[in-house]
């Protein structure tokens, strides 16, 4: 909401320093988002046009010589030609900073300098007129600031961000009331009595749908001469971004902005039946609003209709063309009403039409404000309409939805301290609330008010206050609402700060610590974390070959009902598409061989109250083969104290059929390891191989592995034994290693595969696997006989798998 400080100053005495006002507004919860100065632009002076001249080589501009009062002839280039010699015009002198930020320089045309610039109204921030240079009154003195010539004073405009709980602050008076309370000065409200000076003439009102319209007042005004509005009003309106139209519209807007009371005028000669009906629209009914758009209506939209029941306005949002005032209007019916906020909000969001009026009605205007608004309207219009007649017979129709004029609540004095942390006495609370219209009285001792502690005896401070809630604060209903007002006007900054002493010991849960350990392990393995988009297109899921049918029924993926981008409507069922996308992006940017991971949630449909949502980790190694993924899996398994069987029996969807495995922990699938299938890589346009590990973390993070147990280390040297076996390709190396471990027995300290060899000499479908066994005893150095015994046992164990010792 834009408001100028000069306007506020009509109702409240403000400090001269605008910074203090801005700071006060912030303290009151009315933060200033932006502020700017209005009024004359410094450096722009009045000048008289001496002569003009066309230049043969410049078709669109002319040369102008002006006199700025100092007798010198200044030459300027000018694109407009709406003036003649003798006219007084605004001249921006060299170095002037214009409202749009441009600084006037001598830059010329055709090598001829320009000694300044002549300005249009728009260039000076005076409305939208850019059709020509602003021509000032002919009798204006020369060489003075043009503001003096047009009666324009310097002012500051602030744009306030208004929260939903402060509908009253949509009116200048509402802001002024808060400032008056803050600075401890009186609020000077405009008068509230309509002075009747004409015969009875009424526009009767029928409220058909009383749940949607609580109050509707009309008063008939005649003797109107539609013409330009008052200059001071136009300046004010313009300063806050309202375009001046004519005296009637300007007054209507001014009253709305001042008192937060939208209002509407109907040309009474055009209003059929000279009566108004307020009803919801019928199905199929439509209305052409003032912006010349045909609005199709539903039974949720409230209409103002004329005596013939023909719609003349969309209640609380916008009027219609058919009864709008025109240049010849003489008599109007002034409507000031109160509409139920929720209904206006529903219409606004359905038809997407928001107006200054609807914004106010939607948040809630003062249901007991129409009288003051009508009075103010009359007072202001009389300034430009000396023959204005206010007719007797004003109508004030009320209906069920009108809020009660006597809304109240109780406030326990002790509760203020319990919530705010400041011990305030009843009198102090009253002093804070009274200036903003919350009237307090001590609650009766035998009242039902709770917590009535120390308010018993005569003369003592009451423990409970009865608070009358102001009608312009529909957001305030309960005790806590009032406590907020007390805190706000006491000042948040004055509340003493305390750090509460937590009786808990602060900690991360075991699962949270394990998540961090996992991250550290992955970073230690040279992987970098990425956070790709959680929203996918169905095509992304298909492309990754996850074995998920995105068009299946019942659905196999979870969809967003109202996606941001058409198509990006699938919540990722796997982290893999995100990582593959990131690899493709890096490859595109010539960054091959990236090693990435993500820890994040994946989502699938589920039968529960909420869908199936799990936390996974996915690791992708571009340019690496499957064993690299197994190596990462092994490192993660060791760091996290988990284990799983590498089952190559059924290759997981989307992975390389002969280079991928499922990780099985007992009968549960823990995840997958291996290489991405070539067709998937092709679909992502990835030329590198990609090795992946994916783990379901729901179990991994909850697991509580035992702490590693100490194993004594031998003081004697170890003996290494290299041994190679030839065995069939379909026997996993894992099994051979297990056999070696079993065969070697207690002397084995470690075993490592150091070579795998396939060759013709070994025969088809066979390979040689060479292991290095580290043998060691705690109590002695091993003898050749010890080593020979191990070799024999290992050979025997391997033979059971069909493995022959080589060499």
Partner 1 sequence: MISDIDAARAEALAQISAATTTTELDAVAAALNGKRAPLAVLKTGLGALATPDDKKLAGQALNAAQQAVATELTGRRHELVASERARRVEAERLDLTEFVRPARRGHLHPVTQAWERLEDVFVGLGFTVAEGPEVESDWYNFEALNMSPDHPARNEFDTLFVDHRGAPPGTTVLRTHTSPVQIRAMLTAAPPLYLVAPGRVFRRDTPDATHMPVFHQIEGLVVDRGITLGHLAGTIQAFTEAFFGPGFESRLRPSYFPFTEPSAEFDIRTPSGDWLELGGCGMVHPDVLRAGGVDPAEWSGFAFGFGIDRMASERHAVGDLRDMYVGDIEFAEQF
| Residues 291-320 interacting with partner 1 (rule: CB under 8 A) | none
| Positions in 767-806 near partner 1 (CB under 8 A) | none
Question: Which residue lies nearer to partner 1 by CB, 533 or 792?
Answer: 533
Stretch that binds partner 1, among 20-28, 435-443, 659-667, 755-763 (CB under 8 A): 20-28
Q: Compute the distance between CA of residue 554 and CA of residue 551 in angstroms, rounded to an integer.
A: 9
Contact indicator for 258, 273 with CB cutoff of 8 Å: no
Instruction: Report the nearest approach of partner 1 to the CB of residue 341 (Å).
Output: 8
Instruction: Report the nearest approach of partner 1 to the CB of residue 663 (Å).
Output: 22
Question: Which residue lies nearer to partner 1 by CB, 480 or 756?
Answer: 480
Q: Please calculate the CA angle 472-476-479 and round it to the nearest 5 degrees.
A: 145
Q: Provide CB contacts within 8 A for 779, sequence distance 6+.
A: 716
DSSP 348-411: HHHHT---HHHHHHHH---TT-HHHHHHHHHHHHHTT-TT-EEEE--EEEE-TTSPPS--EEEE
| Positions in 318-377 near partner 1 (CB under 8 A) | 341-342, 345, 349, 362-363
Token couple for 357: 């009026």
Q: Compute the distance between CA of residue 180 and CA of residue 13 in angstroms, rounded to an integer.
A: 7
Q: Which of 153, 400, 531, 657 binds partner 1 (CB under 8 A)?
A: 531
Binders of partner 1: how many residues, by CB under 8 A? Answer: 94
Q: Which of 283, 610, 707, 708 binds partner 1 (CB under 8 A)?
A: 610
Stretch that binds partner 1, among 2-10, 309-317, 603-611, 651-659 (CB under 8 A): 603-611
Question: Which residue lies nearer to partner 1 by CB, 47 or 483?
Answer: 483
Question: Which residue lies nearer to partner 1 by CB, 192 or 480?
Answer: 480
Q: Compute the distance between CA of residue 115 and CA of residue 110 in angstroms, rounded to an integer.
A: 14
Q: Which of 606, 705, 745, 802 binds partner 1 (CB under 8 A)?
A: 606
Task: Count CB atoms within 10 A of the CB of residue 105.
Answer: 13
| Positions in 27-86 near partner 1 (CB under 8 A) | 27-29, 31
Instruction: Report the nearest approach of partner 1 to the CB of residue 357 (Å).
Output: 16
Indicate the Cα dihedral angle 149, 153, 158, 162, nearest 10°.
-90
| Nearest C-alpha neighbor of 594 from the set 623, 633, 565 | 623
Instruction: Report the nearest approach of partner 1 to the CB of residue 732 (Å).
Output: 30
Question: Which residue lies nearer to partner 1 by CB, 508 or 539?
Answer: 508
Question: Which residue lies nearer to partner 1 by CB, 314 or 619?
Answer: 619
Question: Which residue lies nearer to partner 1 by CB, 607 or 759?
Answer: 607
Go through 600-633 and write b for each residue having 16 or more CB atoms within 10 A of its CB, e for each that does not: bebbbeeeeeeeeeebbbbbbbbbbebebbbbbb
Question: Which residue lies nearer to partner 1 by CB, 512 or 658?
Answer: 512
Q: Compute the distance between CA of residue 521 and CA of residue 286 in angstroms, rounded to an integer.
A: 66
Contact indicator for 287, 279 with CB cutoff of 8 Å: no
Q: Which bin fits 587, alpha (ψ -120 to 50), beta or left (φ > 0)?
A: alpha
CA dist 797 → 206, 365, 732, 733, 788 (Å): 101, 90, 15, 14, 14
Beta bridge partners of 614: 602
Burial class (CB in 10 A: 0-12, 13-18, 19+), 132: middle
Question: Which residue lies nearer to partner 1 by CB, 7 or 603?
Answer: 603
Stretch that binds partner 1, among 49-57, 299-307, 319-327, 550-558 (CB under 8 A): 550-558
| Positions in 418-477 near partner 1 (CB under 8 A) | 418-422
Q: Which bin fits 282, alpha (ψ -120 to 50), beta or left (φ > 0)?
A: beta
Q: Which of 109, 535, 735, 774 binds partner 1 (CB under 8 A)?
A: 535
Q: Please calculate the CA angle 200-204-209 and round it to the nearest 5 degrees.
A: 160
Question: Which residue lies nearer to partner 1 by CB, 224 or 570?
Answer: 570
Question: Which residue lies nearer to partner 1 by CB, 277 or 689?
Answer: 689
Q: Which of 111, 554, 649, 759 binds partner 1 (CB under 8 A)?
A: 554
Stretch that binds partner 1, among 391-399, 558-566, 626-634, 720-728 (CB under 8 A): 558-566
x/- letters, 482..511, toward partner 1 (CB under 8 A): -xx--xx---xx-xxxxxxxxxxxxxxx--
Contact indicator for 32, 126 with CB cutoff of 8 Å: no
Q: How far is CA 792 from the centre of its chain?
A: 74
Q: Does 223 bind partner 1 (CB under 8 A)?
A: no
Q: Which of 44, 280, 311, 522 binds partner 1 (CB under 8 A)?
A: 522
Stretch that binds partner 1, among 48-56, 231-239, 517-525, 678-686 (CB under 8 A): 517-525
Question: Which residue lies nearer to partner 1 by CB, 470 or 581?
Answer: 581
Phi then psi dihedrals of residue 575, to 5 deg: -85, -10
Instruction: Report the nearest approach of partner 1 to the CB of residue 228 (Å).
Output: 39
| Positions in 562-601 near partner 1 (CB under 8 A) | 562-564, 571, 578-579, 581-582, 585-586, 589, 591, 594-597, 600-601
Instruction: Report the nearest approach of partner 1 to the CB of residue 540 (Å).
Output: 14
Q: Compute the distance between CA of residue 622 and CA of residue 596 in angstroms, rounded to an integer.
A: 8
Question: Which residue lies nearer to partner 1 by CB, 105 or 528?
Answer: 528
Q: Compute the distance between CA of residue 705 and CA of residue 695 in angstroms, rounded to an integer.
A: 17
| Positions in 148-177 near partner 1 (CB under 8 A) | 163-166
């Amino acid at each position: 909401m834009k408001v100028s400080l000069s306007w506020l100053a009509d109702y409240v005495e403000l400090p001269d320093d605008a910074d203090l006002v801005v700071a006060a507004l912030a303290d009151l919860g009315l933060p200033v988002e932006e502020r700017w100065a209005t009024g004359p632009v410094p450096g722009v002076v009045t000048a008289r046009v001496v002569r003009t001249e066309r230049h043969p080589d410049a078709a669109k501009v002319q040369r102008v010589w002006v006199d700025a009062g100092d007798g010198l002839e200044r030459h300027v280039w000018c694109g407009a030609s709406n003036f003649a010699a003798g006219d007084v015009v605004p001249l921006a002198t060299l170095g002037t900073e214009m409202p749009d930020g441009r600084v006037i320089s001598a830059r010329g045309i055709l090598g001829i300098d320009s000694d300044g610039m002549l300005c249009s109204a728009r260039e000076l921030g005076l409305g939208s007129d850019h059709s020509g240079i602003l021509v000032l009154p002919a009798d204006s003195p020369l060489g003075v600031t043009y503001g003096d010539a047009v009666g324009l004073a310097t002012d500051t405009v602030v744009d306030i961000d208004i929260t939903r709980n402060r509908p009253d602050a949509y009116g200048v008076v509402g802001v002024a009331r808060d400032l008056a309370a803050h600075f401890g000065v009186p609020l000077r409200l405009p008068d509230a009595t309509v002075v009747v000076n004409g015969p009875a003439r009424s526009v009767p009102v029928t409220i058909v749908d009383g749940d949607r319209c609580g109050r509707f007042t009309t008063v008939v005004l005649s003797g109107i001469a539609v013409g330009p509005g008052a200059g001071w009003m136009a300046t004010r309106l313009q300063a806050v971004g309202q375009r001046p139209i004519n005296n009637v519209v300007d007054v209507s807007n001014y009253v709305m902005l001042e008192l937060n009371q939208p209002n509407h005028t109907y040309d009474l000669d055009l209003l059929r039946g000279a009566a108004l009906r307020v009803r919801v629209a019928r199905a199929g009914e439509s209305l052409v609003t003032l912006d010349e758009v045909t609005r199709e209506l539903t039974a949720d939209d409230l209409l103002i209709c004329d005596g013939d029941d023909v719609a003349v306005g969309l209640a609380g949002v916008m009027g219609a063309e058919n009864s709008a005032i025109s240049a010849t209007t003489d008599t109007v019916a002034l409507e000031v009403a109160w509409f139920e906020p929720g209904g206006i909000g529903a219409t606004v969001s359905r038809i997407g039409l928001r107006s200054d009026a609807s914004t106010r009605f939607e948040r809630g205007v003062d249901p007991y404000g129409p009288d003051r608004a009508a009075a103010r309207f009359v007072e202001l219009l009389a300034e430009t309409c000396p023959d204005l007649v206010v007719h007797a017979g004003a109508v004030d129709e009320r209906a069920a939805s009108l809020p009660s004029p006597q809304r109240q609540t109780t406030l326990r004095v002790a509760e203020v301290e319990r919530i705010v942390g400041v011990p305030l006495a009843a009198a102090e609370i009253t002093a804070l609330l009274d200036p903003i219209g919350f009237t307090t009285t001590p609650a009766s001792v035998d009242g039902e008010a709770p917590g009535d502690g120390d308010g018993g005896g005569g003369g003592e401070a009451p423990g409970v206050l009865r608070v009358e809630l102001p009608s312009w604060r529909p957001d305030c209903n309960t005790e806590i609402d009032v406590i907020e007002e007390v805190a706000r006007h006491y000042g948040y900054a004055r509340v003493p700060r305390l750090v509460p002493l937590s009786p808990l010991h602060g900690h991360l849960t075991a699962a949270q610590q394990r998540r961090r350990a996992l991250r550290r392990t992955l970073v230690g393995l040279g992987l970098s974390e990425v956070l790709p988009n959680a929203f996918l297109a169905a095509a992304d899921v298909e492309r990754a070959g996850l074995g998920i049918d995105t068009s299946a029924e019942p659905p196999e993926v979870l969809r967003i009902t109202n996606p941001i981008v058409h198509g990006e409507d699938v919540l990722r069922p796997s982290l893999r598409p995100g990582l593959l996308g990131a690899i493709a992006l890096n490859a595109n940017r010539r960054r091959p061989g990236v090693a990435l991971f993500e820890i994040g949630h994946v989502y699938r449909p589920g039968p529960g109250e909420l869908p199936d949502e799990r936390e996974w980790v996915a690791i992708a190694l571009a340019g690496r083969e499957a064993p690299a993924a197994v190596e990462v899996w092994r490192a993660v398994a060791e760091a996290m104290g988990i284990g799983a069987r590498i089952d190559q029996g059924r290759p997981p969807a989307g992975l390389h059929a002969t280079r991928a495995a499922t990780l099985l922990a007992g009968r549960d699938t823990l995840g997958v390891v291996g290489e991405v299938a070539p067709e998937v890589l092709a679909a992502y346009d990835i030329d590198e191989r990609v090795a992946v590990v994916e783990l379901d973390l729901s179990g991994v993070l909850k697991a509580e592995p035992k702490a590693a147990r100490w194993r004594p280390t031998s003081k004697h040297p170890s003996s290494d034994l290299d041994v190679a076996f030839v065995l069939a390709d379909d026997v996993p190396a894992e099994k051979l290693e297990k056999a070696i471990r079993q065969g070697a027995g207690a002397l084995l300290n470690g075993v490592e595969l150091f070579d795998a060899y396939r060759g013709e000499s070994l025969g088809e479908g066979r390979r040689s696997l060479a292991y290095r066994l580290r043998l060691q005893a705690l109590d002695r150095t091993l003898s050749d006989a010890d080593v020979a015994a191990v070799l024999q046992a290992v050979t025997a164990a391997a033979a059971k798998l069909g493995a022959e010792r080589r060499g």
